[in-house]
Structure 1
Amino acid sequence: MDLAELTARLHAIRDRNDWRQFHSPKNLAMAASVEMAELVEIFQWLSEAQSRQLAPAQLAHAGQEVGDIVLYLLLLCSELGIDLEQAVRAKLADSERRFAP
């Protein structure tokens, strides 16, 4: 996944639609949270077993919501100057240290 290319494509959509005025870090974080809630809604009331065996339509819907979340996080990182790949690698390394056997 080329994050720079994805971010550039997102910026093109944003700029073409004059959405930059709405893309403050606060708004982007809230939008990502709303999309996460939409993902959670797919699993609401499912059993543990059902949540692991989504119907094809549910799985496709979950994928769309995951995509929305990632895209909002890319925009948020862009606005804040966060290198998403570096942030993820640093967090993973921290988890490996903290939770090593």
Structure 2
Amino acid sequence: MSSIRITAVRGAFLGLALAASVSALADDTPTTAGAVDRLKGLGNEAVGSAKRGVGNLTDDEDLKAEGRAQKLRGEAQQEKGKAKDAVENALDK
């Protein structure tokens, strides 16, 4: 197996493990709404990266596209969380 494929497999497993832990944190930890969005966004980015990695390994263009889309959704979700935090911080002042 080439080093690129090994790296992709490692990234896929790491992304899935991170997504599972982020989901648990988002559900169990009392935080601000912005923090929850940021955590869920990180999870979506990780899962999207994992899907892209698996898609690259299997040459599955649909899975690669799905991974790219989920990663972008995660990035947008993180930005939404940052915006919520900014509003909350401005209101607290």
| TM bin (shorter chain) | 0.3 to 0.5
* Structure whose residues are more often helix by fraction: 2
Q: TM-score, normalised by structure 1?
A: 0.41
Q: TM-score, normalised by structure 2?
A: 0.44
